[in-house]
Amino acid sequence: MNLIFISPHFPLYFYNFCDRLKARGVNVLGIGDASYESLPFYTKIALTEYYKVNSLEDYEEVYRACAYFTWHYGKLDWIESQNEYWLELEATLRNDFNVTTGTKIQNMVPMKYKSKMKDVYRQVGIPTARFRMVDDYQATKAFANKVGYPVIVKPDNGVGASSTYKLKSDDELDYFFATKQPYISFIIEEMVPGHVETFDGITDKDKNILIATSHVMLNSIMDNVNEASDTAFYSQPIEGLDLYEVGKKAVEAFDTRSRFFHFEFFRLDEDRDGLGKKGDIVGLEVNMRAPGAYMPDMMNFAYNVDVYTIWADMVKYNQCFYDIKREYWVAYTGRREGFGYAHNYDQIREIYGQNIALETDVPEVLAAAMGNYVFIVKSRTQEELFKMIRYILKREDGTEWM
């Protein structure tokens, strides 16, 4: 089996996907824009071969890399990246190399354009926020005044919270129109009074869910980026939740065959006309790749499994060989450089060392959304987990984060 993995070196932990595949006898063929010498050691040994291109944005260059691998190893069976930014590149290459184990470019629109995601959600009975394309100024202003400020403006085809804004008045809308990038197609949507709960997991080729979990955001990624706030979220048991049934509808509605998936939903914190009652679920966005921000590792800690192995076994055998049973509550806490905290790293380690599953610096390019330094902690109870989040993120002036 021959699998192309695009940009296997970034984020750093992505070498795990390649490592588990190679252990199963798969030829893992990396394509990236970093020199081979600069690749981390664990990435190098997880690859069968690596092909450097000057730019992954240059399709012809990436195409030639795939052609080279085809010449040396035979027909390509899979093309993957697990990175939102490269999904359209993957899909175009699948067309050109007749790779059938994933979405092709002509079917990618509902999974990349936020306006089209909403159409699919609604088709299976999942409500979504009202929106319109940002085109005509007067029509956009009328929409904002109809649904009421604040409103959210974001790229129709965007990654993460990049170029995403919360606008609170006509003046801020005017400023957005005066300064927005003309080459980006934006949508504007009503602000949903709720918090984000995800539905994350892996499917086989028939869309059967092999493992699934959920992560609850304690603040929004948009606020993390725009306000440079601390970051915290936690994994919750998905078994028996209404979110599991809604998530299964989404899995069936989108092309989730043989995928890692990451669906985002709002849980309403108050009643909202046209959306539902407090506690109801509203569709937000779709990401047809592994969840980011070390969520795969959080799944490992929560279930005492290895999701990279589950994914590799799905690719190679279309099966999961684990007995999936949740054991821990797990939380991600990201601290910011330049902020004063009540407790230093050594104090955190001294009190909660037995609960720390992972701690690490965050690459600068990801720090806006994830924080600069991360503690991932686990506990048998939600109460203790929340206590740890408060301790880690407590400011030196006594301010409590939660």
Q: What is the pLDDT of residues 342-386, one digit of tens each?
A: 999 999 999 999 999 999 998 888 887 788 999 999 999 999 999
Quote the Cα angle for 272-274-275, to 5°: 60
What is the domain count for the chain?
3
Query: Could you give the percent of the chain with pLDDT greater than 70?
Result: 97
Shared-domain flag, residues 56 and 170: no
Residue 400 placed within a domain:
no
Residues 6 or more apart whose CB falls under 8 angstroms from that of 60 comprise none
Same domain, 384 and 287: yes
In a domain, 240, yes or no: yes
Q: What is the pLDDT of residue 222?
A: 64
Residue 386: what pLDDT?
97
**Mean pLDDT across the stretch 282-301?**
94
**Residues 375 and 357 placed together within one structural domain of the fold:** yes
* pLDDT score, position 288: 94
Please report the pLDDT score of residue 293 as a whole number: 84
Based on the fold, state whether residues 368 and 324 are members of the same structural domain.
Answer: yes
Domain co-membership, 255 together with 353: yes
Q: What is the pLDDT of residue 227?
A: 66
> Which residues share a beta bridge with 6?
31
97: Cα separation from own chain's centroid: 27
As beta bridge partners, residue 189 has 131, 152
Q: Once rounded to an integer, what is the mean pLDDT over residues 259-264? A: 96
Residue 370: what pLDDT?
Answer: 84
Number of H helices, E strands in the chain: 15, 16
Query: What does the alpha-carbon distance between residue 189 and residue 159 come to, in Å, rounded to a whole number?
Result: 17
The verdict on 159 and 201 lying in the same domain is no
Query: Does any domain span residue 123?
Result: no
- Say what the pLDDT of residue 223 is: 66
Q: What CATH number does residue 184 fall under?
A: 3.30.1490.20
Per-residue model confidence (pLDDT) at position 161: 62
Task: Return d(Cα 398, Cα 23) in angstroms, integer.
Answer: 49
Q: Are residues 69 and 145 in the same domain?
A: no
Q: Give the separation between CA 70 and CA 335, rounded to whole angstroms.
A: 45
Establish if 316 belongs to a structural domain.
Answer: yes
Q: pLDDT tens across 118-159, in order?
A: 999 999 999 999 999 999 999 999 999 999 999 999 999 977
Query: Among 17-21, 58-62, 274-278, which stretch is predicted with the lowest mean pLDDT?
Result: 274-278
CATH number at residue 320: 3.30.470.20
* pLDDT at residue 336 tops 60: yes
Calculate the average pLDDT of the chain.
Answer: 94
Q: Are residues 228 and 185 in the same domain?
A: no
- Res 224: pLDDT: 56
Q: Are 7 and 302 in contact (CB under 8 A)?
A: no
**Does residue 112 lie in a domain region?**
no
Q: What angle do CA 268, 273, 278 make, to 5 degrees?
A: 25
Q: Are strands 49-52 and 27-32 parallel, antiparallel or unpaired?
A: parallel
pLDDT digits (tens, 9 = 90+) for 199-237: 999 999 999 999 999 999 997 666 655 566 789 999 999
Same domain, 240 and 376: yes
pLDDT, residue 112, reads: 93
pLDDT confidence of residue 364: 85
Contact 112, 87 (CB under 8 A): yes
Note down the domain range covering 96.
2-105
Does residue 198 sit in the same domain as residue 304? yes
Q: What is the mean pLDDT of residues 75-85?
A: 96
CA neighbor of 166 nearest in space, from 150, 147, 143:
150
Q: What b/e sequence results for 58-80 when a residue is b if at least 16 CB atoms lie within 10 Å of its CB, and e otherwise?
A: eeebbbebbeebeeebeebbbbb
pLDDT tens digit sequence for 150-208? 999 999 997 766 788 999 999 999 999 999 988 999 999 999 999 999 999 999 999 99
Type of residue found at 397: D
CATH of the domain at 36: 3.40.50.20
For residue 312, which of 124, 46, 40 has the smallest C-alpha distance? 46
Cα–Cα distance measured from residue 283 to residue 250, given in angstroms and rounded to the nearest whole number: 9
Tell me the percentage of the chain whose pLDDT exceeds 90: 88
Residues 168 and 296 in one domain: no
Return the pLDDT at 88: 96
Sign, CA dihedral 11-49-34-54, equals: negative
Q: What is the average pLDDT across 57-67?
A: 98
For the chain, how far is it from start to end, CA to CA, in angstroms? 48
Burial of 252 (0-12, 13-18, 19+ CB in 10 A): exposed
Burial of 159 (0-12, 13-18, 19+ CB in 10 A): middle
- Which residues lie closer than 8 Å to 275 by C-beta, 6 or more apart? 127, 129, 192, 268, 282
Tell me the C-alpha distance between 324 and 250, whole Å. Answer: 21
Token pair for 314: 């799905």
214 and 358 assigned to the same domain: yes
